[in-house]
Chains A and B, each alone.
Chain A
Amino acid sequence: MKTTTVLATLFLATAGFTLAAETPANAAPPEADACCAEKPAPKKDACCAAMAAAPFRKESIYQLDVTFTDDTGKTVPLGALRGRPVVLDMFFVSCGYACPLTVTDLLAIQGRLPAELRKEAVFVLVSFDVARDTPAMLAKYRADRGLDGQWVLLHGSDDAVRELAALLGVKFKQEADGAFSHSNLVTILNREGEIVHQRQGLQGGLDEAAAALAAAK
């Protein structure tokens, strides 16, 4: 409810601006936060703490008020990803085709980031399989795939997963055999949780994704 009030204030304040739909996703917002939009310097922590208290921007997917659980069992509100550039993919552990390929691609993207950015960027996997991909299962997947501390593996409720998928434009459906049909869509978010790039399909696009990540403010 607090968020509601804050958002309401934000939208009232920006009511005079052009419609969000007409603003390219990667355009500078009309009132960029001076704070973490700047190069994160040594005072980064204090800076981002201050920013976290500010309302989410109107194009930020972090306005979606949903909470996940990571592979250590810790609760992670979606908005907790704020402050770092994010590579977001929806997947499921038992996927036999596209998801392992996509994770391999994401590892390749991670590998080609400049050292500075590699320390900052977060790779987030959110599972469609709310019944089977428990935090323990995700922890095993992390070990199996050798995913380092920059990776966040998330389990959520059916509602949280469905709303996040809808927001990203990811279609998915559980088949009779328990597997999921799903869009192959990797989303790059800037530090404010605004979508700056999406890679559709399974072929190529690694350089573009890495570049979008590097450019993400």
Chain B
Amino acid sequence: MHGFRQHLPGQRALLALAVLGLAGSTFAAPPADMVPIPAGRYTPLLRSTKDAPQVAVAAFLLDARPVTNAEFLAFVTANPKWRRSQVSKLFADSSYLENWTGDLEPGLKAPLPAPVVRVSWFAARAYARAAGKRLPTIAEWEFAAAAGYTGPDGRKDEALNRDLYAWLARPVPAVLADVATAKPNFYGACGLHGLVWEWVDDFNTAMVTGESRADTGLERDLFCGAGSIGAKDTGDYAAFMRSALRSSLQANNTTSSLGFRCARDVTLTASTP
């Protein structure tokens, strides 16, 4: 654990160089709490026959850690309409921040350094907007999360997979661990696996219904263009779980294990000769 931290800065500098390795451009240094994710390709789990097998992901910045109760407290303090007692049920269901003691008191069940959960997509989006950020897309999140602890391809990273499946097998604890306990992956992003599930901006793109029998057949009546959908890697059980979770959610839903982190475009400025 400590070892990771120690060689991270060097690793990150290399990555930053990879991200920036564009002639004639300079890179605005990422904020301390974000890590650069280099450009790459993401292979969607589910795709229709019209889709390309891979999706290009541009370089972007990702929060190193999920948003904490402390950070969300600052947000609701500054934005009263997102407080538990004041939020519209259209934008956050009745269990929004239910684990908090009060509107502005996270309390014992929601320690300040732990990831915030029981937040809706609308609330996560509003937080990101207020922070001058946005939510990552599915492609961005999955690309960043596909890395292992030591390399960009986590599929063969035994330590990562052991941790991931151990987490999936554990019930959600009553009190979540501090975000600082999460291990950084190859890019320096901590806790993409092993802390909480995370909202993505385009969660509502999965063309499936809540009815599993209906999902297997053609649903042209319900979904235009959903005629052909297929999965690429049926062995990636965790990716199926994330996909199933996303497709089951409504934008105002909140759950005891669903949090979020923010992303931001990489800002490149042409260097003046």
A and B associate: yes
Binding site for B on A (CB under 8 A): 4, 7-8, 11-12, 15, 19-21, 58-61, 63-64, 95, 97-99, 162-163, 165-167, 169-173, 175-177, 179-184, 200-203
Cβ contact within 8 Å between B89 and A183: no
Greatest chain B CB density within 10 A among A61, A63, A171, A200 is at A171
Beyond contacts A4-B81, A201-B222: 11 other A-B pairs, Cβ-Cβ < 8 A, are A7-B81, A8-B86, A11-B85, A11-B86, A58-B90, A63-B88, A97-B224, A163-B122, A169-B250, A171-B223, A182-B225
Greatest chain B CB density within 10 A among A11, A172, A173, A175 is at A173
Query: In the complex, which of the residues A58, A98, A163, A181 contacts B125, with contact meaning CB atoms closer than 8 Å?
Result: A163
B112 at the A interface (CB under 8 A)? no
Cβ contact within 8 Å between B51 and A183: no
Interface string of B39-64 (1 = CB under 8 A from A): 00000000010111000000000000
In the complex, A64 Cα to B93 Cα: how many Å? 15
Chain B interface, >50% SS class: loop
Given A8-B81, A176-B50, A184-B88 contact (CB < 8 Å): no
Residues in B with CB closer than 8 Å to A169 are 250
Residues in B with CB closer than 8 Å to A171 are 204-207, 223
Query: In the complex, which of the residues B80, B89, B206 contacts A21, with contact meaning CB atoms closer than 8 Å?
Result: B89
Cβ contact within 8 Å between A58 and B204: no
Residues in A with CB closer than 8 Å to B80 are 4, 8
Chain A interface, >50% SS class: mixed
Q: How large is the interface on B (under 10, 10 to 19, 20 to 34, 35 or more residues)?
A: 20 to 34
In the complex, A181 Cα to B220 Cα: how many Å? 10
Query: In the complex, which of the residues A4, A15, A19, A64 contacts B89, with contact meaning CB atoms closer than 8 Å?
Result: A19
Residues in B with CB closer than 8 Å to A97 are 220, 224-225
Cβ contact within 8 Å between A203 and B221: yes
Interface string of B180-219 (1 = CB under 8 A from A): 0000000000000000000001101111000000000000
Chain B: CB-nearest residue to A3? B81
> What 9 pairs across the A-B complex have the smallest Cβ distances?
A166-B251, A98-B224, A181-B225, A20-B89, A173-B205, A201-B221, A4-B81, A171-B204, A175-B50
Cβ contact within 8 Å between A181 and B207: yes
Query: In the complex, which of the residues B79, B81, B251 contacts A167, with contact meaning CB atoms closer than 8 Å?
Result: B251
Cβ contact within 8 Å between B94 and A21: yes
Chain B: CB-nearest residue to A59? B90
B226 at the A interface (CB under 8 A)? yes
Closest chain B CB from A34 CB (angstroms)? 23
Given A165-B204, A171-B206, A175-B50, A180-B224 contact (CB < 8 Å): yes
Closest chain B CB from A70 CB (angstroms)? 24
